[in-house]
Amino acid sequence: MIAKGLDFHNVTLVGVINADQGLRFPDFRASEKVFQLLVQAAGRAGRGASSGEVVVQTLDPSHYIFNYLISHDYLGFYNREIESRETLQYPPFSRILLIRIVGEDEQLVWHYAMKIRQFLNKARGDRSYKILGPAPSPISRINRQFRYQILIKQVREEDSSMAFLRQLIKKGIYLNPDVSRWPVTIQIDMDPVDIL
């Protein structure tokens, strides 16, 4: 209801329970997503002639997101987020490639994830992208399928490495000739919206 932006008349009180739960997601966009959702939720109260009130429950009221929310300081929140992303070299200051390996046998998934990592290390030459992982995905198992992932981070100015990786993927030579017979599925996402 909140994300759709529906307009309900005579709503004068909005309550958000456990508002900081999304802040603990292992995603560099977590604060942005929670801030956006809370702003949208707050916007449901007091529309029209009636005034409104918003109550937010949190386990961590000192988290900076709530100060920006209370003061309606969208620009301040943006400046804090963009500074943090620049320091840590996250988008928009870098590109991210997510490679997820999925399969029913966890040992095999790990084995092939390591093969991919080793190949990427050998293939990179003097290109300076960072390889993070493999590691279990934040949601490590769905429908009896184990999920491991590798993140590749590339600073924007050195975008030639991402072009190189795109070429490897496009040509299908990023693993080895018998990849079609592997007992795992490989998912590739350039600049993923989330990494869960």
Local structure of residue 82 (DSSP, 8 states) = H
Is 113 found in the same domain as 49? no
Tell me how far apart the alpha carbons of residues 116 and 110 are, in angstroms, rounded to a whole number.
10
Instruction: Count CB atoms within 10 A of the CB of residue 125.
Output: 8
Per residue in 35-88, pLDDT tens? Answer: 998 888 887 777 777 788 888 899 999 999 999 999 999 999 999 999 999 998
Q: What are phi and psi for residue 87, nearest 5 degrees? A: -60, -45
| Residue 8: inside a domain | no
Tell me how far apart the alpha carbons of residues 130 and 146 are, in angstroms, rounded to a whole number.
24
pLDDT at residue 106 in the model = 95
Decide: 108 and 166 in contact? Cβ < 8 Å.
no
Asked whether residue 180 carries a pLDDT value surpassing 90, the answer given is no
Instruction: State how many domains the chain has.
Output: 2
CATH number at residue 170: 3.30.70.600
Q: Final residue of a domain: which of 88, 106, 135?
A: 88
Is 143 found in the same domain as 126? yes
Q: What is the pTM of this model?
A: 0.76
Per residue in 54-68, pLDDT tens? Answer: 888 999 999 999 999
Instruction: Count CB atoms within 10 A of the CB of residue 122.
Output: 8
Q: Final residue of a domain: which of 37, 57, 88?
A: 88
Question: With the CA atoms of 137, 140, 143 and 146 taken in that order, what torsion angle do they form, in degrees rounded to the nearest 10?
Answer: 80
Alpha-carbon 141 to chain mean position: 17
Q: Which helix (H) or strand (E) holds 38?
A: helix 30-42
Asked whether residue 1 carries a pLDDT value surpassing 60, the answer given is no
The domain containing residue 48 runs over which residues? Answer: 13-88
Tell me how far apart the alpha carbons of residues 160 and 132 are, in angstroms, rounded to a whole number.
19
